[in-house]
Structure 1
Amino acid sequence: MSVSQEEQRSGVYQAHFRVWRGDEHAGDLADYTVEVHEGEVVLDIVHRLQATQAPDLAVRWNCKAGKCGSCSAEINGRPRLMCMTRMSVFDRTETITITPMRAFPVVRDLVTDVSFNYTKAREIPSFVPPAELAPGEYRMQQEDVGRSQEFRKCIECFLCQDTCHVVRDHEENKAAFAGPRFLMRIAELDMHPLDAAPDSGIDRKATAQDEHGLGYCNITKCCTEVCPEHIKITDNALIPLKERAADRKYDPLVWLGNKIRRRGE
């Protein structure tokens, strides 16, 4: 599709889209030609498509500001937020393909069932407050705050879960693998200096390895690459968690210390 000189001057042009239409039983890509205005994002075009040609197109969205994580999809095969993907990053003659997140079951059109993620979230024990401190008495060094504060930026768009090949390409792994978003949550809690989980019998490093599939992660950094909040999931959460789990399990000094401690009990 060529772009006329008049379209180039006005900033308005016609773009070719292929959008996946269907449900959990069957579906296919449908072709549309949609008007695009200067400064718009992909979600704007999807809304115009709903308003002009496909009123029954199902799409999940909320804030349109890159903060709710609702409008996750795959655009030209890459997991992205539709509201944060500007049309200007594509050539005007390019065909833009929008499909639902591949790692999760399709509900209809671009809407997927992401309940897998909520199931995994419930499996992770929450923060355990220290017994000797009352609310309002918690004190932390700024360095400790900064270490895990980055992970709090997560908007739970689940793009990292979608792109992780452990769940994307192997459905059978889902039962034993929490995925990068929730391994990052375990790392955040394990790094928290006030988390009293060990005192309550919870070994976060051991459960990450034995119950949440930390060993499945081979640190390809694909989760980091698609994160819209630019969280360094691999470098700052997953690798440190792997190192802590390995130290706990294989470090001879840690093993000897545990032996001595158990003998003295």
Structure 2
Amino acid sequence: MTTATSQSSEGSPASGAASTGTEPAGAPATSYEAHFRVWRGDTDGGGLEDFRVEVHEGEVVLDIIHRLQATQAPDLAVRWNCKAGKCGSCSAEINGRPRLMCMTRMSVFDRAQTITVTPMRAFPVVRDLVTDVGFNYTKAREVPAFVPPEGVAPGEYRMQQEDVDRSQEFRKCIECFLCQDTCHVVRDHEENKAAFAGPRFLMRVAELDMHPLDAAEDAGLDRKRTAQEEHGLGYCNITKCCTEVCPEGIRITDNALIPLKERAVDRKYDPLVWLGSKIRRRGR
């Protein structure tokens, strides 16, 4: 059984590799002892606690958190579900980078490295590694849903593959909210949350605006205008940090946010596009 210890030096190495006794001479040990620092606390505050914990070959950070629960910190709170990178539940910050704990292999870290696990910084802490992500569900409800085309029954929709290629990528989103967490517009500026939907939901607006069958404009809904005026598209300064942390590899900035910005600008400032939208509105 491992024991919790306190360590003053963040970068101090583990006290030595624990061999399983089955490795060939000269081979790296398949298990070792790691130094973990895990944030513990609640809405009233908290801090980092130090642990020495055993790590086995092939394990991910979530395995280690579970081992800490089983052996040293049974009351450690963590949100998780599938452990397969598909539910988006186990989002946290590992050594300062937003990641899924279940998709972060221990092998990416040096064995002597201290692994620091903290809750997502952009959202209020509930307890330990669990955060209140309700902000995201509020923003989701603010995005108008798909508007079905008139005269076409559900199940009879027909689209060409080339018409959906661009937006199909966005459907890979697992709503881990890592992109929302890393976006400095809300991460560093709490006051922007009311006006800014964040990259995940601006991507949703882009997905619907690119949908070949979305009849929003026929119903009088201008998604480009609402993206700019109601969802804070202009706050995004395309630093691509959301793309960098996406576990599904979605090119959020290049394929969703920049094209949506271009469409919004065309709608507002291109005289031909502006005239066409006026004519369409008068024809309804």
1:75 is aligned to 2:94: yes
User: TM-score scaled to structure 1, two decimals?
Assistant: 0.96
Aligned-pair distance for 1:257? 3.6
Once the two structures are superposed, what CA deviation does each residue of 1:7-48 show, in whole Å capped at 9, x if it has no partner?
464311000000000001110000001000000000000000
* Matching residue of 2:227: 208
Q: CA RMSD in A?
A: 1.6
User: TM-score scaled to structure 2, two decimals?
Assistant: 0.90
- Report the secondary structure of 2:140's partner residue: helix
Provide the identity percentage: 84
Q: Equivalents in 2 of 1:77, 1:181: separation in Å?
A: 20
- Select the residue among 242, 252, 265 that pairs with 1:246: 265
Q: Flag the 1:257–1:127 CA change in 2: closer, same or farther, 3 A.
A: closer
Unmatched segments (≥5 aa) in structure 2: 1-12, 20-26
Please show how residues 12-161 of structure 1 align to structure 2 within 5 Å.
12-161=31-180
- Report the secondary structure of 1:229's partner residue: coil
Q: Conserved in 1, the CA contact under 8 Å of 2:18 and 2:33?
A: no
Q: Equivalents in 1 of 2:145, 2:281: separation in Å?
A: 27
Aligned-pair distance for 1:187? 0.2
Q: Conserved in 1, the CA contact under 8 Å of 2:62 and 2:102?
A: yes
Q: Flag the 1:21–1:246 CA change in 2: closer, same or farther, 3 A.
A: same
Q: Flag the 1:260–1:41 CA change in 2: closer, same or farther, 3 A.
A: closer
- Report the secondary structure of 1:199's partner residue: coil
Q: Equivalents in 2 of 1:202, 1:256: separation in Å?
A: 17
- Report the secondary structure of 2:164's partner residue: helix
Q: Equivalents in 2 of 1:221, 1:100: separation in Å?
A: 22
The code of the aligned residue for 1:152 comes to R
Query: Which of the pair is proportionally richer in helix?
Result: 1
Q: Conserved in 2, the CA contact under 8 Å of 1:3 and 1:92?
A: no
Once the two structures are superposed, what CA deviation does each residue of 1:67-91 show, in whole Å capped at 9, x if it has no partner?
0000000000000000000000000
